[in-house]
Structure 1
């Protein structure tokens, strides 16, 4: 067994988690599964009975088919604090009934949040009521994802250049939660009254006695955050040691990005308590595939332009027509017709609403929506709902077995439309965005191979890697 019995004897589930956005949730699942912890990501909180009955389809974590970790793909990154008050407590209550060693409130490694939208501080306060812990570890750095926390400030590396987060070409321009402060203590301090203490590089690199003294001093006050610097894998290993040794008796609350899972797994593997399985075999090439992109990020835009140059059918979805009630159905039919023509010729299809943040269609769509007085529903939700309908129809009429969705809202609506209730890791493609296997009640969608990509993830040839089924 890859997971030593001493880990699961006391708690049958090693870790449960809630991801504050859909695509980022697969990142945690991948980190656990590829390190030997059998994991499934559910769309709704599972009951203990559902967890016990669930069986994995793949063996990327080793031969064990029963679960040792479970997660829920969430939406809290897009919610206001009052909306969180309605949405999160029932989910936290359900997850608190799972007998796990840890509960992780998973956030984006670029700390997407503000006091008004996606407040990490407010969500943590709600979670602490269900997962009371003497201290709240906060780990955001993830070296494998090119995310680094240095003296409390967050950095991200893009195309060979490293940016402080408030100068990051994407995050500083984020349309909802632009990052104008790189010091996470200051940024989080605007969202919570809880003090945010820092275990910096000097403390992490000190000898064991000095490190322990610093840790004791930093966690004197119950309920405070403890932010960990993380620049390299050695720091990650030190944090993993601290998380494991200082865990609560049950459901230690953790807050942070997927570096949290890498820290724990690295430490447990070093201690011989967890065996890392061999790299999974490629599921092989699959053609044609369908890409359904709702992300407006520059990374996804460049990936789409690149793959269209490689021969993918170029199918632009006109958002300004989708938001008009009288034009919506005709636009959906037009798009489906174009896609089916290409798929009928075995040509892969790239479908999208925009090519990057400067695409004129974004302003045109928002302007038309405003003119029509459709202010109750976000534009992204209106578009994503239609994209889910389109993809479902295409899959029902073809034998396509592998698809990609790009963007959190798009992925959420696609999963809902296809009746997917859980995902598991099939193959790593790029850090944080694996190819997954779907669990669905309808036979056509059960076993579908699907990648749900965050806007900023992956290299320029990411979609080509999905076709090949290999990194």
Structure 2
């Protein structure tokens, strides 16, 4: 942080946020930390005692799991979460959503989160920034696009998000998509207005949602300027990490943060351990790479893991395999599915029904099992660095390890930094952990985490 920023910024925190899953929460932490804004991600509601240990922090996040939850769960849980963050006094309170905006009226309703959240801030508008060019996400005239392997797709034609097993994106116009989830007024400031400087911000007593197009660095900085300068007495925003990137771009243009975002580089380690609950084709390719490049890759048998009578035996089976691999200097990877066409995915409803569970209960059981695998493995093997792939899985695993908070230790892939765990348990304090979303990282991602980052071609 520069001396200029200390003089120009208000005292105290600049932003607080609730992440709708753990991988997205670390994505936002990475964006702020790289910009020069010290950030702490809490796994439970932040306490004064915890925050007192980090006096230089200017941004505080709270990692959550609402992306996979019902509106009733949000009604029960989000008011307390938002209240705990609003009490910290930052001028911006964010509900951090995924940059692919996957949500529905029944699951992970962004509209319901907005309706709950606006009551916790005094502002008369609720800005929304979803586009994040660094993550290859772009919004134009309210429509969301995402690039994969150098090719751009409208989000409703995206090879993964259009086929998401829980919240498939079947509408690219985010105004239309969000109107299925809230009756709140939804407006748009498009990129033509941003580039021309002809922006008329209309607010209202009903706190309208104002979507802001972002498709390049110019519109990113302009969106950040608009939100920061019109924050008033405090605003609530449902946004992706595009908000963090936008604010940082505006602050950078005004000399408040370093001109070049940066993070420390990680060292290599001999062995890592990974668990994956991701169904993404990106993660599937990464699992195949790991199998072909010396990792001990083992599938979690879902029928056995979901059946109460065999769950313990299946958990112990994969833990023993992973622990033996670590003892041999081999990195283990335990996974539940290998891409969207895996029978474990296409037949998941039947597997769940045979175990007497509905889809949501079964999905949570898978995450809980992977969490138990990682917990037991850490208790038995001398591991310094671990990886969790999949948004829901990351939440289940991280929350079961006795970790109080995370900070960024080093850069890795955009959106998935290497994090340092803070814990009262000496066995967990200092653990390095990467929480990877399904769409994040190159094909050799697991190898890069072990090596400390991308390696130059020989």
Q: TM-score normalised by the shorter chain: which range applies?
A: over 0.9
Within 5 Å, which residues of 2 pair with 1:386-397?
Answer: 386-397=369-380
Q: In structure 2, what is the equivalent of residue 313 of structure 1?
A: 296
Runs of 4+ aligned residues of structure 1 deviating over 3 Å after TM superposition are 218-222, 276-281, 362-366
Within 5 Å, which residues of 2 pair with 1:382-421?
Answer: 382-421=365-404
Q: In structure 1, what is the equivalent of residue 42 of structure 2?
A: 42
Residue 374 of structure 1 deviates from its aligned partner by 2.7
Farther-moved stretch of structure 1 (357-366 vs 88-97): 357-366
Residue 219 of structure 1 deviates from its aligned partner by 3.5
Q: In structure 1, what is the equivalent of residue 452 of structure 2?
A: 469
Q: In structure 2, what is the equivalent of residue 113 of structure 1?
A: 103
| 2:68 and 2:392 in contact (8 A); partners too | no
SS in 1 for 2:257: coil
Q: Residues 285 and 353 (structure 1 numbering): CA distance in 2 closer, same or farther, change over 3 Å?
A: same
Within 5 Å, which residues of 2 pair with 1:436-451?
Answer: 436-451=419-434
Deviations 1:169-222 (A, max 9, x none): 11111111111110011111111112211111210111x4xx2xx324x43675
Q: In structure 1, what is the equivalent of residue 112 of structure 2?
A: 122
Q: In structure 1, what is the equivalent of residue 174 of structure 2?
A: 184
2-structure distance, mates of 1:40, 1:78 = 23
Q: In structure 2, what is the equivalent of residue 27 of structure 1?
A: 27
SS in 2 for 1:104: strand
Within 5 Å, which residues of 2 pair with 1:77-92?
Answer: 77-92=67-82
Q: In structure 1, what is the equivalent of residue 225 of structure 2?
A: 241
Within 5 Å, which residues of 2 pair with 1:348-367?
Answer: 348-364=331-347, 366-367=349-350
Q: In structure 2, what is the equivalent of residue 6 of structure 1?
A: 7
Deviations 1:338-385 (A, max 9, x none): 112211110111111111111113355542331232339621211111
1-structure distance, mates of 2:126, 2:360 = 35
Residue 326 of structure 1 deviates from its aligned partner by 1.5
1:230 aligns with 2:220: no
2-structure distance, mates of 1:32, 1:271 = 16
Residue 96 of structure 1 deviates from its aligned partner by 1.3
SS in 1 for 2:350: helix
Deviations 1:381-404 (A, max 9, x none): 111112111111111112110000
Matched length: 453
Within 5 Å, which residues of 2 pair with 1:208-357?
Answer: 208=197, 211=198, 214-216=199-201, 218-219=202-203, 223-249=207-233, 251-275=234-258, 279-357=262-340
| 1:2 and 1:276 in contact (8 A); partners too | no
Q: Residues 409 and 202 (structure 1 numbering): CA distance in 2 closer, same or farther, change over 3 Å?
A: closer
1:102 aligns with 2:92: yes
2-structure distance, mates of 1:393, 1:141 = 39
| 2:352 and 2:359 in contact (8 A); partners too | no
Residue 451 of structure 1 deviates from its aligned partner by 0.1
Residue 54 of structure 1 deviates from its aligned partner by 2.3
Residue 314 of structure 1 deviates from its aligned partner by 1.7
Q: Residues 84 and 329 (structure 1 numbering): CA distance in 2 closer, same or farther, change over 3 Å?
A: same
Residue 449 of structure 1 deviates from its aligned partner by 0.4
1-structure distance, mates of 2:314, 2:203 = 57
1:54 aligns with 2:71: no
Q: In structure 2, what is the equivalent of residue 61 of structure 1?
A: none
Deviations 1:230-283 (A, max 9, x none): 11011101111111211122x322221111111111111111122357733323
Q: Residues 467 and 376 (structure 1 numbering): CA distance in 2 closer, same or farther, change over 3 Å?
A: closer
SS in 2 for 1:420: coil
Residue 459 of structure 1 deviates from its aligned partner by 1.3
Q: Residues 202 and 284 (structure 1 numbering): CA distance in 2 closer, same or farther, change over 3 Å?
A: same
SS in 2 for 1:367: helix
SS in 2 for 1:403: strand
For the aligned residue pairs, the C-alpha RMSD in angstroms reads 1.7
Structure 1 alignment gaps of length 5 or more: 56-64
Structure 2 alignment gaps of length 5 or more: none
Within 5 Å, which residues of 2 pair with 1:147-226?
Answer: 147-206=137-196, 208=197, 211=198, 214-216=199-201, 218-219=202-203, 223-226=207-210
1-structure distance, mates of 2:21, 2:217 = 25
SS in 1 for 2:433: strand
Q: Residues 234 and 376 (structure 1 numbering): CA distance in 2 closer, same or farther, change over 3 Å?
A: closer
